[in-house]
Structures are given as C-alpha cells and as structure tokens.
Structure 1
Amino acid sequence: MLRLQSISLRRLVAALVALTLIALGVTGAAGWNRVEAQSGDSSRYAAIVVDAGTGEVLFSRYADDRRFPASVTKVMTLYLVFEALEQGKVSLDDVITVSPNAASEPPSKLGLAAGQTIRLDDAMRATAVRSANDMAMVLAEHVGGSQAGFAAMMTRKAQELGMTRTRYYNPNGLPDSRQQTTARDLAVLARAVMRDYPQYYSYFGQHDWAYQGRGYRNTNGLLHSGNGYDGMKTGFTNASGYNLMASAVRDDRRIITIVLGGRSSATRNSHVAELMDTGFELERRRAGGERILVAQAFFEQRGFGISTSDNDAPVAYADLGSTPVTEREEGMGSSAVAYTALPAAAPPAVMVAAAPVVAARAAPVPPPAAATPVRTAQTSSAPRTGSLTASLNSGVAGATTLDRGAVANPPPPPRATAAVANPPAGRWSVQVGAFRDETVARNWVNEVNRRFRAQFTSAERTVASAAGWHRSRFTGLSQAGAEAACSALAERRVTCMVVRPGN
C-alpha cells in the first residue's frame, strides 16, 4: 500500500511539473526532449551517486533495475584476483600461458596467441587499462580454473558483498543475456574494492600502460580530465549502452558515480561529470552549515530525475559541436560528437536553474586508503589484512532511494497576448530555454547562437523576463524561418519552441 501511494505521489508530482512548464511556455512538441534518456529509452539507463565514506545514496534513478554491466564486469574479476593475491594463491610474477579459449575472445583484446605467456601483473593492467577481454579470461582461468568455475566464484562473491541482484556468467562482460546487475549493486562493489584492497585500487586509475613497445591509454576519459578522478571502469556493448563506474576525491571527500546505458562515451562522461559536480556541491554546502536533509531533492532541483512519467530518464544533452571523441571505448573507435548539458528550465519549487557547477581542478589524490572508505552494512566477510577497518551504521547495500519532495503551488504564468491572425514576417521567435537566473539565460542564448549561426543570421538575441522567469529567445524571424530553425535545433537534440507574435 505504501509503495502504491509513493508511486501515485510521484506521478502526481510529475504531472504538476509538466502542467507548470506548459503554462510557462517552456515545453512544446519538443519540450520534453531535455529529459530524453541517455540511451533513447529508459530500458538501459540507470544512475546512482554515493558518498563513499558514509554510504549515503545522494541520488538514484532506476538504481535497482537490472542492467547489463558490459566491461564493468571486470571490476569483479579484478576483485577476485586481488583476493587471491592476498591469500597467497597467486603472485604478481606468475607467468600464465594463454589458452585457446582466452585467445579466441573478441576485441577489445591484447591479442596474444594461444601458447604465449604473460605475467599476472601485466594481465591485470591490460584488463583494467585496455579492458582486454582475452586477459580477463586469462585471469579467470588462472584463479578459477575455468570460465564456469570463475563465474560461479564471481556470483558467490557478489552475494557475499550484498549485490543481491547481480549474476555473472563470464569474466569480461561480453554479451550474455543472463549476466545482469544494478547501479546500486555496482556501488556496493566499488566501495568493497576500496575498503578491502586499497593497495590495489591504483590499477583502476592508471592513465597509460605500455606493453611490448606499444602504449595503451585508459578507456576512462575522465581520468585524463583531472578534477579529482582516480578510477574506476568503463563498459560498452550494444545491449548495455555506454557504462561508467567513476570515483573522485575533492576536499577530502570521495564520491562514487555510476551511469549505465549512455548514448555515447561523450554523453556518458558529461552526465557522470554533472552528477559528480552536483554531489560535491551538496557536500560543500552541507559542510558549510546548510541543512540539506534530502539529497535526492537537491539533485532534482538541478534538473536530474524530473520527468513526465515513470518511464522518462532524467537528462538531456544539447549537441553543441563536432569535437571528436579521443577516448577509445572498449577498443572501439567512436564517431560521436561531444555533448554538453542543456541548462535546466526550472518550474518553481522543483528545479532551480543555475549556472553549471565547475569544480576547481584538484591536485593528484592518494588512493582510497586515505579517503576512509568503509565496509557496507551487508558485507559478511571479516576485514582483510591491510584494509580499512572503520565501519558505519549504514552502507550502500542497505540504503533506500529517497522520495521526491512535494511540489509547491506554482505562481500563475504571465497572461499571454492573443495571437495575431496571419502575422507579418519578421515577428516570430524561437525560444530555447527559460530560467530563474537571467545570467544563465543570456549565456545560453549566446551559446546556442554560437553553435547555430546559420539558423539565426538575421535574428536578434533577447531575454524576455516576466514573473521571475527569463526566456532565452531569438526574435525577428518569419514564421517559416522560426520553424526551420527550431527543426534544425531539434534534430541536434536542443530544446526549442516556435513563439507566435505577441507571446
């Protein structure tokens, strides 16, 4: 009964948000493009943001829905190798012979032939940096004896750690419809790696690696951006979309962010960065004395998680250029363009539009041993040698998704002037956003103009302000010109609407 009431409340909140935006002139035929799912639908998208030290879930979306992990699977593979190293069952200097089974794994791979040998340490680095499917299989067979035996070990360990909705059937994440996990379970795994094997965490943060005269760059592009990022793992298959488990430290706090089902490596990275920035902003404001009790609401005020139905995912990306993606995701090239987050159009009491949070570039940070990650509440195994022994009352596995706050009654929208029948050319407009902050509105209309100059050559950039809202608009267009411009923007996933004269 309580779950049904919660679902009904969320749907009521979403409906009120949608009606408010329509009344304010923010939405339209393409108005909800800005909450388009990363993958084009909500069947692959999921996200979670977790304070690594306390286990508090700061934000979640579809966090308990099963998804395909792709190469994020390799985090569990390496966790079990770390365990075997600590138990003395294997050594970093072990020389392993590549089996025909491992050599036959498809790319991304290191490409050693059957019968060739490799040190365990190099196989681990190839798995973490190159995301090599063949080397993940080499590790699995060396530690578990066979793929099936190692997969059973993986699933047992997942259950032991509290990853209750995770099942493994291979060590590298190659397509298998039975191999599924959740964003929340992956957050449990991330914290377990930091807690149990901080001495090995650096494998996930190595930027570059050289082997037999050839250099390899980590598939996690955020590692190269600075800003406190120091691990962990990417993943991609056609079924999963673009996945990323990321961790960063700023101001002595560590946050873990997991996004599954991204449309491209660029949009996924941008989304992770936005979520991470918001999480650290929340932490800073709490440290400054603000009482922010419901972290999920803080994220939703910044445009994450607001949707018109239970099936909408939370973020839109505006295509603002053709910057090539330099990261090679899972050994595959990408022709995707770079995306940037579309500033939120904010209804009262639900979303507060603000300038994007840009955190200062952080200095290099030590591995998690200094970041005080702790054991989750549901972990049953005893603390391991060299691991952190601090524990808190609540962990990621036991945390629950926070409900949304109620929507306050919005103020009445400004009264619209009656539309002019057959208006003359040159009096139509295109609106590309509505914001509470006038500076954000002006910056956004300038940015759209910079990227779409051909569509707005004869238009004037304006910000129309009324009732506390600042609408970014291009004015002085003909009806045909406004419709053509809006169509061009919509094709590039930039929200827009055509505005009649007098509105």
Structure 2
Amino acid sequence: MMKKTASFKFNKWLTGVLIPVLIALQCPLCPVPQAEAMSVYLTAPSAVIMDESTGAVLYSKSPNVKRAPASTVKILTALVILDRLPLDQWVTISSRVEGVEPSKLYLRGGEKIQVYDLLQAILMNSANDAALALAIGAAGSEYEFSKMMNQKAIALGAQNSNFKKASGLPAEGQYSTVYDLALIMRAAMNSVVIASILKKKASMMRTAEGKVYYLKSHNKMLWRRYDVIGKTGWTRQAGYCFVGSAGYAGKRLIVSMLGSKRLWTDVTAMAQAMSGYKPRELISYGDRGNDVFAIQSALRRAGYFHTRATGYYGKITVKAVRSFQRAKKIEADGIVGAETRAALSSYM
C-alpha cells in the first residue's frame, strides 16, 4: 500500500508540476492564458515578464514586434564595454560628443573620465554623450561599435534586433523587440557592475582634471516600495520604454516594455502582477491606482470618459461610470463592481 501511495504521489507531481514547467521552458514565447493576461492592463503595446533564472516567459504582449528601443539600448552598450575596456581605464572625451542630443551631461572634448564613471553616467543619467564617448573609446567610431553591439546581441540570442547607436537615439534601421531586450537584460543581471550601478539612486564622477559631475537615476521605482531596478528610455518615435529586473518571492523576474504612454503606471502594474496583486472588487470615489486607470481608459474607449486617464477616481469618473451604467441598464451608483466591470471588459 505504501508503494502504491508513493507512486500515485509521484505521478501526480509529474503531471501537475514537472511537465508544465518543462513545456514552459521549451516554449518561451507561449502566450499566457487570457485570464492571466487580463489581470495586467498596460498602455504599452509590447511587454514581457521573464523568469531571470530560467528564461521562461511568464507574460507576453506582442513580444516579437520590432520597435524603436530608445535608451534601453544602453544596457547592451554597457555589456559590450565590459567586454572591451577595463573599468579603471581613462577615456579621453572626443569633441564629437558635444553635439549629441540630450539627455546628456554636457561633457567637453579633452576631458578624461574613467570607464566605470561613464558606465554610471549612461545607466543612471542616461547620458547620450557618455554613451558616444564609450563607443569611440572602445571602437574608434560609433559605426564600428554598432557592429560589436549586434554581435553581442546575437550571441545572447537576440535575433530580431538591429542596433545603430550606443545611446539608443533614433537611427534609420534601428529596432529591437521586448523579448530581445529581456534576453539582453537577463545577461546584464549576471554583471555585478551593471546590477550595482542600477541600484544607485545618486552618485558622482570626477574627471582627471578634477571636475565633478553629479548623477541621479532616472528610474523612479528606486524611490517606491517595489524592488525594481532597470533602464528607462524615451524618444518621440519610441514612446516610454523600460527594461529591468524585479524582485518577487525570493526570485528575480525580467521586465521589458516598449512604447508605453504612461511608463510608471505600466511598470507599477507589472510589479503588482508579479507580486500577486489582485484588482479590488469594488472601485469607487477617492480610489487611486492602475486599476482605476484601466477603468478610465475603458470608459474612454466606450465613449463615456472625455478627458485623460489619471488613475484617480474623482467626480468626473463617477459621472462617467453612472452614464455607462445607465446605458447598460445597471444600477447607476457610480461604483465599479463585478457587473460594471464585466460590461466594461470588452473595452479593456
């Protein structure tokens, strides 16, 4: 009897736990079930959540659509630099960096700055001039450096990307996908240097001549309660972008998104989804959060909310909900419960 029980338990574990995990590992781009996907409302058209240790994709939304990557490219730039230059090497800043578009530190040609400090500048301040300085220092030109970037990306499994600029500034023919960027970020998290810099809220760097530059991270999640480190990006073409690593239940998950309209709302929503956050059963006047933002966005698509979604459930939202409820013959109490949420689902 004991052998039969042990065999039954093993078979139950095999079919219920091991086989699904193996399937997930062999099919990293398999879409999550629709019910799970609906629990994460994002303005970003493309997003991925990936298990950092296994590479398994836990959530995906248009993971292989090619989009402009903006400054998330700087994660790859950092990886290439770490392969090529020692951290304590002094880089003489080329005068070519002075004409680079912001964001930048306004470095001056002839200044000498160590590689580590320039890495801090690109990963924290997203300094485009520092990225170009590193590219020139490692390869002599940004064109030659872009070849190194693409070689590195392919070696990491990023097959649907083409990188042209170390900074991620717009360039014809430059593109990536959230899946490729997740792979690159996953590799970056194996670097103690990159991971430690991404955890910093503020720092400084000093030139060989004694000039000091003060640095502050663009990642607002460092000041919030979620354990999320990473690299931001924005251009008019790309929209808001983010690639990073989030801590959850003793493990780390890679998050990647491109084209967001509300970056921190989307990053927070992904962090909440990873932490097992569930939408409130009732949403009403005075509430705030991503679920309120999702309701407002759905009401706007339905034609009842005529202003920008804010994530705050104020009087305008109450009025819009009541109008929607009347049209759907639901009790017009201005509160979003199960019935109202179900009626809004086709707009979410």
| Fold agreement, TM-score > 0.5 | yes
**2:248 matched residue in structure 1:** 250
Displacement of 1:279: 2.3
**1:210 matched residue in structure 2:** 204
Q: Greater CA radius of gyration, 1 or 2?
A: 1
Q: 1:340, 1:36 → 2: CA distance?
A: 8
Displacement of 1:38: 2.5
Q: 1:453, 1:63 → 2: CA distance?
A: 35
Change (3 A) 1:109 1:344: closer
Q: 1:471, 1:63 → 2: CA distance?
A: 40
Q: Is the 8 A contact 1:242 1:261 kept in 2?
A: yes
Q: Is the 8 A contact 2:42 2:266 kept in 1?
A: no
> Are 1:50 and 2:13 matched, yes or no?
no
Change (3 A) 1:63 1:116: same
- Counterpart residue type for residue 233 of structure 2: G
Q: Trace 1:286-305 onto structure 2 (pairs within 5 A).
A: none
Q: Is the 8 A contact 2:221 2:227 kept in 1?
A: no
Aligned residues between the structures: 275
**1:79 matched residue in structure 2:** 79
- Counterpart residue type for residue 292 of structure 2: L
> Are 1:223 and 2:217 matched, yes or no?
no
Displacement of 1:344: 6.4
**2:171 matched residue in structure 1:** 176
Q: Trace 1:365-444 onto structure 2 (pairs within 5 A).
A: none
What is the aligned counterpart of 1:341 among 291, 294, 298?
291
**1:66 matched residue in structure 2:** 66
Q: 1:146, 1:339 → 2: CA distance?
A: 46
TM-score (norm 1): 0.49
> Are 1:137 and 2:87 matched, yes or no?
no
Change (3 A) 1:431 1:104: closer
Displacement of 1:205: 2.1
What is the aligned counterpart of 1:473 among 318, 321, 333?
333
Change (3 A) 1:101 1:279: same
Q: 1:471, 1:68 → 2: CA distance?
A: 45
What is the aligned counterpart of 1:271 among 266, 288, 297?
266
Q: Is the 8 A contact 1:431 1:472 kept in 2?
A: no
Q: 2:317, 2:74 → 1: CA distance?
A: 46
Q: Deviations over 1:373-402 (max 9, x none)?
A: xxxxxxxxxxxxxxxxxxxxxxxxxxxxxx
Secondary structure at 2:276 match in 1: helix
5+ residue gaps in structure 1?
1-9, 18-34, 40-44, 85-89, 283-300, 304-319, 322-337, 346-429, 433-446, 476-494, 497-503
**1:259 matched residue in structure 2:** 257
> Are 1:100 and 2:50 matched, yes or no?
no
Q: Is the 8 A contact 2:189 2:195 kept in 1?
A: yes
- Counterpart residue type for residue 333 of structure 2: R
Secondary structure at 2:242 match in 1: strand
**2:141 matched residue in structure 1:** 146
- Counterpart residue type for residue 241 of structure 2: N
Secondary structure at 1:245 match in 2: strand
Displacement of 1:261: 0.6
TM-score (norm 2): 0.69
Q: 1:54, 1:117 → 2: CA distance?
A: 40
Percentage of matched positions with identical amino acids: 26
Change (3 A) 1:471 1:235: farther
Q: Is the 8 A contact 2:230 2:243 kept in 1?
A: yes
> Are 1:121 and 2:116 matched, yes or no?
yes
**1:164 matched residue in structure 2:** 159
Structure having the larger proportion of residues in helix: 2
> Are 1:201 and 2:201 matched, yes or no?
no
Q: Is the 8 A contact 2:135 2:142 kept in 1?
A: yes
Q: Is the 8 A contact 1:103 1:112 kept in 2?
A: yes
Displacement of 1:37: 7.2
Q: 1:64, 1:236 → 2: CA distance?
A: 19
Q: Is the 8 A contact 2:219 2:232 kept in 1?
A: yes
Change (3 A) 1:114 1:36: same
Q: Deviations over 1:156-199 (max 9, x none)?
A: 1111111000111110011113110000001111111123x234
Q: 1:52, 1:151 → 2: CA distance?
A: 26
- Counterpart residue type for residue 266 of structure 2: H
Q: Is the 8 A contact 1:49 1:276 kept in 2?
A: no
- Counterpart residue type for residue 81 of structure 1: I
Change (3 A) 1:470 1:194: farther
Q: Is the 8 A contact 2:318 2:334 kept in 1?
A: no
Q: Deviations over 1:415-443 (max 9, x none)?
A: xxxxxxxxxxxxxxx999xxxxxxxxxxx
5+ residue gaps in structure 2?
1-30, 206-210, 281-285, 296-302, 306-311, 336-343
Change (3 A) 1:262 1:454: closer
